[in-house]
Structure 1
Amino acid sequence: MGRHVRILFFLFLMIAAGMMMPFFSGAQSDNATVHFIPVEQTVESGLEAFLDRSITEATEEGTDHIVLEIDTPGGAVDAAGNIAEIIQNAEVPITAYVTSEALSAGAYIALNADNIVMDPSAQMGNAAVVDGSGNTAGDKAQEAWESNMESAAQSNEHDRDPDYARAMADPDELLTMNAEQASDVGYAEDIVTDREEVLAYLGLEGAEQVESEVSLAEQLTRWVTNPMIIPILLTLGGVGLIMELFTPGFGLPGLVGLGSLGLFFFGHLFAGFAGMEAVILLILGLILIVAEVAFTGFGIFGVLGLASIIGSVFLASFDTTQILFSVLIAMVVVVIAAVLLFKYFGKIGFMQKLVLQNASSESSGDADETVTDETLIGQIGRSLTPLRPSGLMVLAGEHFDVVTDGTYVEADSDVRVISVSGPRIVVRAVH
């Protein structure tokens, strides 16, 4: 009788343990964590840096799963390739959750994940590879891209039919699938409507949801490393600096130029593309520009400074072809700006060191007679611009182009005329 009691007691314990299993399973899921990382807007180097940081942090925090929430029209192929490598090397399983669009490079990123789930209204595909001008790439680049798409489709245990991946990349087909179509051909493991259904598919109901957010610095980095923004920043930087060479003192053009270059280098430094050699060359270029503005460089310091800055831009870039295109755009605009500045403002700035202009008079049409009047000698005027050593002076309501006897004179300083020789008026600071 005692033996039967023990057997019944043992069976009771087994039944009770079986009934308690769901509770223990639920407790385990509650302790699990899933990181949700947004993959949004254009695929470019800034997104690559953000995903690298986010996946690394999620792994170090011991997350159980990573979900990439994808909504992107695509972007740079090289950045997509680097992101795919980051996903493949991740130590944590990754699921791609297509919330709206996974087009072009976005489709390639999704195919490299361990699983793909899609919102009912989402679509994936249209993965043509184009160049920086929006034209279809050459045959070799196209073939390589189609091969990469096929490899991505077969990179996980689902072993998806590679023909669909090739059709997505084929410029003659550009296949785009909605969620139902992707599910039918094995390119989506499930159709979900929200994160809770994603967790249910993963078997992690009740898991803690951790959302990775793009920091302010990363948002700025994504903006300034965008291939459409880089030419604008370089153009503003170049025009700002060239205007400083033509205008006296340091003002708004210089601030705009330095600010634009600063944004460019900040973004590329933060993203990890620029090294110290690029920064050193940039600083050297800026020092030469300052030397041109402050001293008599006759344009030499300015040219060397601009060359150094251009060299630092190339060193900081992540794509030589793209940065060459951007620099060429900037140089064309800068040359046009320089021609206009020389034509309309050539009397101001370092051009006065090359050509001494005739003095102008607001009240008299015959400037030469006024300039050669030796009665100016000994009179005291006021410098309108810095004299380094040439610039503008006002005397008795008239403006004159003058040159110092070799010393630097700040703007708004008293100066005395010490000699007049033809159109040449030499002044000296009054102390």
Structure 2
Amino acid sequence: MDGVTLLAVYAAPAMENKGFSEMLGQFLTNPFVIPILLSIAALGILLSMFTPGPVPAFVGLFSLLLYFYGHMIEGAMGYGSVILLVIGLGLLFVEIFIPGGVIGFFGIAAIVTSILLTGEDMGFTAISLLIALIVAIGGTVISLKFFGKRLHLFKRVILTDATDTESGYVSTVNRPELVGQMAETVTALRPSGTIKLLDERIDAVSEGRFIGSGKRVKIIKVEGSRIVVRELEQEEEE
């Protein structure tokens, strides 16, 4: 019996004794598979911020969980890694409902630390994370450039709509039709106070001098929210 046949005879029972989970764990922790899993995870999570729908996030999280599952089977995942992973995923979940970026940053930091602690070789794991980051950024740039994906998650954080008059926004309500109207002061104007026009109370300022309450005034100028009034002379009231 030659050496190859002898090796096959002894190797066959060993393969039969290995369970599926053990073989899966060895596959998922293969040095060639780890960068691929982390790249898919990073790309999926990053694309989920740019594209609608849960598919990219689901694929990214599934790849991330496969990474941790493989190391858990191999016995390389300690309690510290598990705690950091749970905290990181929890913070990312909170970020969905309370956007702002800070919570999500700490969540990602916790997950990255958990990945580094889980890897058998921290140096190799750090290189794999760097490769994953490059792949994720490159894939996102390609997606934005060629598929026209629009950033939708950060719209909850950053106001992207222009608040100009062409879009129907005005900083103050301009009421030029009030010019020439007669009103009565509700409070004294020193020089600002309140006047009453019909049944409407309006903030106003005097032309410059003090005007007591209960006086008849005339609106002489409207500049945005600034309404200027002048006290009526006795002959004007008549």
Per the TM superposition, whether the score is higher than 0.5 is yes
- Deviations for 1:270-298, whole angstroms, at most 9, x for unmatched residues? 101111110111111111211222x2422
Q: 1:244 Cα shift?
A: 2.3
Against the structure 1 CA distance between its residues 270 and 192, is the aligned structure 2 distance closer, same or farther, given a 3 Å change threshold?
Answer: closer
Could you tell me which residue of structure 2 aligns to residue 305 of structure 1? 107
Against the structure 1 CA distance between its residues 348 and 338, is the aligned structure 2 distance closer, same or farther, given a 3 Å change threshold?
Answer: same
Q: 1:372 aligns with which of 168, 172, 176?
A: 168
Between 235-244 and 307-316, report the one with greater CA deviation. Answer: 235-244
- Cα distance between partner residues in 2 of 1:347 and 1:339: 12
Q: TM-score, normalised by structure 1?
A: 0.34
- Is residue 120 of structure 1 aligned with residue 2 of structure 2? yes
- Is residue 315 of structure 1 aligned with residue 100 of structure 2? no
Percent of aligned pairs with the same amino acid: 32
The residue identity in structure 2 corresponding to 1:254 is A
Q: 1:326 Cα shift?
A: 0.5
Could you tell me which residue of structure 1 aligns to residue 83 of structure 2? 280
User: 1:32-431 alignment to 2 at 5 Å?
Assistant: 120=2, 122=4, 195=9, 212-248=16-52, 251-293=54-96, 295-339=97-141, 344-358=148-162, 369=166, 371-372=167-168
Against the structure 1 CA distance between its residues 193 and 346, is the aligned structure 2 distance closer, same or farther, given a 3 Å change threshold?
Answer: closer
- Cα distance between partner residues in 2 of 1:227 and 1:264: 11
Q: 1:338 Cα shift?
A: 4.6
Structure 2, unaligned runs of 5 or more: 171-238
The residue identity in structure 1 corresponding to 2:100 is F
| Contact 1:231–1:326 (CA under 8 A) maintained in structure 2 | yes
Q: 1:242 Cα shift?
A: 1.6
| Contact 1:240–1:258 (CA under 8 A) maintained in structure 2 | yes
Against the structure 1 CA distance between its residues 354 and 339, is the aligned structure 2 distance closer, same or farther, given a 3 Å change threshold?
Answer: farther
SS in 1 for 2:75: coil
Against the structure 1 CA distance between its residues 346 and 355, is the aligned structure 2 distance closer, same or farther, given a 3 Å change threshold?
Answer: farther
Q: TM-score, normalised by structure 2?
A: 0.59
| Moved beyond 6 Å, runs of 4+ | none
Q: 1:332 Cα shift?
A: 1.2
- Cα distance between partner residues in 2 of 1:280 and 1:194: 43
- Cα distance between partner residues in 2 of 1:351 and 1:296: 13
**Alignment length (residue pairs):** 166
| Contact 2:37–2:64 (CA under 8 A) maintained in structure 1 | yes
- Cα distance between partner residues in 2 of 1:373 and 1:346: 24
| Contact 2:81–2:115 (CA under 8 A) maintained in structure 1 | yes
Structure 1, unaligned runs of 5 or more: 1-118, 123-190, 199-208, 360-366, 375-431
- Cα distance between partner residues in 2 of 1:240 and 1:351: 19
Q: 1:225 Cα shift?
A: 0.3
| Contact 2:51–2:151 (CA under 8 A) maintained in structure 1 | no
Against the structure 1 CA distance between its residues 216 and 330, is the aligned structure 2 distance closer, same or farther, given a 3 Å change threshold?
Answer: same
Q: 1:121 Cα shift?
A: 5.8
